[in-house]
Amino acid sequence: MLNDIVSQPVINKSFEEHLMNEYADIFEWKKNEYGYVQIPSTAEFVMDILANRYFIQGELGKSFLVQNKLSELLSVQDNELTKEVDKFYQKTDKTDFEQQILMRNMDVASPVSLFNFLYGDNAMRNGHFSKALQHYKQVENTDGFVPTTYEYYQDGKEMKFTYMDLKKYDRFNNISNAIFGQNRVENFNGSVSHTMTLPIFIRYFDFIKDKPLMNKVELAEILVKLQEIAKGNDERAGHANQLIGNMIYNTSKLGYFRQLFIANFYNGHDWRYGFYGDWKTKPTFYYGRNWPMWSTPIDGNAFDKAITYYKKALTLTKDKEQQAIILFQLASAEQGKYYQWEGKQKNTDDEAFFKRIKNEKFRTYFNILKKEYADTYTVKQLQSSCSYFKHFMSH
């Protein structure tokens, strides 16, 4: 069989039919007495070869589905790969091989909903709120958007499984309007009410204030409204820009809601929130079992986008205390840009070099706060809740 496959110049429709006719038993996966699917080692090897061949032929969607469940796309967060898998799913003339071998990896109730969910999240990460809204409206069934499972040994004995609580967050609903706020304290483990606070001016935005919880459709609708208001040149436009900037920062790698647009379930420690791998290039294969998720880059320019909105908010805000709040948000986003820069450096041993670059290029707004806003109530309060900022202000 292996010779049969490797000698074939192209894995096409007729050859797939040949595989199904001659080697059907290899592709038949049966459950054992415990209900788990046991895949013959020969089948695993064959599948790996087929996935590689599909990849070389440019059929990336098929290459991925040979050995991965559709729901794995939630972890991968690769928009181009999602498009390729979507393209394969929409194919109307699937071969028997494609129907029986690849379609069995469609493990969600509505693949179309999954694709649109991922397209929507990608659009949100890139600040395309209208586009995100269009996709989110097509998410009709989220059954199968399962949480990540974790395996561990209890006291070195029995292996158990834990599942995230879907009642707390199901990847689409129950999003707090505090996503438009700013940090009360820097804390990823605390509750929303303890960690985040909404701006005082939120009372001028009833469509946010009166919606303490929302789904992603409603969130996108709010952002579309805010974008329209933000085009103006009055104080309300300044507030709208600040709210959008807050949302973008809060869903960046440094934000309390950073899990929201990468289909994660919690904002705690996770490889996707780190900066150390940002210099790595994107993997050049899609076909391996358990896609190398750690290599997938996330939110490359969230901080730049947040800074753009914050800058306009600053120019339209007259109140000095509110200006200080915006400047601190700008400083936080600039700190994120420093982490991005630092993560791309191959040699991190020269501490003096990193300190000099940080102070020369990534302390713009901290310096403004120190020189022009040290007397404000906002700056004094920030020093009491942020030890990092307090250290900067005292040195």
Q: How confident is the model at residue 295 (pLDDT cuts 50, 70, 90)?
A: very low
**What is the rounded distance in angstroms from the CA atom of residue 115 to the CA atom of residue 121?**
10
Please tell me whether residues 209 and 311 are part of one structural domain.
Answer: yes
Kindly report, residue by residue over 231-283, the tens digit of the pLDDT: 999 999 999 999 999 999 999 999 999 999 988 877 887 777 888 765 455 55
Side-chain half-sphere exposure of 391, counting CA atoms within 13 A: 3
Please tell me whether residues 58 and 207 are part of one structural domain.
Answer: no
**Residue 300 pLDDT:** 67
Please tell me whether residues 211 and 344 are part of one structural domain.
Answer: yes
Please tell me whether residues 234 and 314 are part of one structural domain.
Answer: yes
Q: Which residue has the tokens 């919606």?
A: 211
Does 65 or 344 have the greater pLDDT score? 65
**Does residue 155 sit within a domain?**
no
Please tell me whether residues 389 and 265 are part of one structural domain.
Answer: yes
**Residue 285 pLDDT:** 55
Please tell me whether residues 102 and 181 are part of one structural domain.
Answer: no
Please tell me whether residues 182 and 326 are part of one structural domain.
Answer: yes
**Residue 167 pLDDT:** 46
**Does residue 128 sit within a domain?**
no
Q: Which of 75, 38, 115 is nearest to 290 (CA)?
A: 75
Is 327 a residue whose pLDDT tops 60?
Answer: yes
Please tell me whether residues 339 and 199 are part of one structural domain.
Answer: yes
pTM, two decimal places: 0.87
Averaged pLDDT, 150-164:
47
**Residue 168 pLDDT:** 46
Please tell me whether residues 269 and 354 are part of one structural domain.
Answer: yes
Please tell me whether residues 330 and 253 are part of one structural domain.
Answer: yes
In the chain, the amino acid numbered 79 is N
Cβ-contact 374, 366 below 8 angstroms: no
**Does residue 327 sit within a domain?**
yes
Cβ-contact 206, 172 below 8 angstroms: no
**Residue 161 pLDDT:** 46
**Does residue 153 sit within a domain?**
no
Average pLDDT for the chain = 85
Q: Among the three residues 50, 80, 107, which one is the final residue of a domain in this structure?
A: 107
Does 282 or 346 have the greater pLDDT score? 346
Is 162 a residue whose pLDDT tops 60?
Answer: no
Averaged pLDDT, 158-164:
48
364 — phi, psi (to 5°)? -55, -50
Averaged pLDDT, 179-195:
91
Kindly report, residue by residue over 30-43, the tens digit of the pLDDT: 655 555 455 556 77
Does 75 or 339 have the greater pLDDT score? 339
**Residue 154 pLDDT:** 47
Please tell me whether residues 297 and 374 are part of one structural domain.
Answer: yes
Residue 323's contacts (CB-CB under 8 Å, 6 or more residues apart) are 314, 317, 373
Q: Among the three residues 88, 107, 126, which one is the final residue of a domain in this structure?
A: 107
Q: Is 76 exposed, middle or buried (0-12, 13-18, 19+ CB in 10 A)?
A: buried
Please tell me whether residues 93 and 222 are part of one structural domain.
Answer: no
Q: Residue 40's domain spans which residues?
A: 1-107
**Residue 292 pLDDT:** 47
Does 35 or 188 have the greater pLDDT score? 188
Does 165 or 142 have the greater pLDDT score? 142
**Does residue 378 sit within a domain?**
yes
Does 300 or 209 have the greater pLDDT score? 209
**Residue 264 pLDDT:** 80
Q: Among the three residues 85, 107, 129, which one is the final residue of a domain in this structure?
A: 107
**Residue 23 pLDDT:** 82
Q: What is the dihedral of CA 10, 15, 19, 22, to 10 degrees?
A: -130
**Residue 201 pLDDT:** 96
Kindly report, residue by residue over 107-117, the tens digit of the pLDDT: 898 999 999 99
Averaged pLDDT, 323-341:
95
Q: Is 75 exposed, middle or buried (0-12, 13-18, 19+ CB in 10 A)?
A: middle
**Does residue 150 sit within a domain?**
no
Number of domain units in the chain: 2
Averaged pLDDT, 76-103:
91
**Residue 279 pLDDT:** 47
**Does residue 123 sit within a domain?**
no
Percentage of the chain lying above the pLDDT 90 cut: 51
320 — phi, psi (to 5°)? -65, -40
**Does residue 290 sit within a domain?**
yes
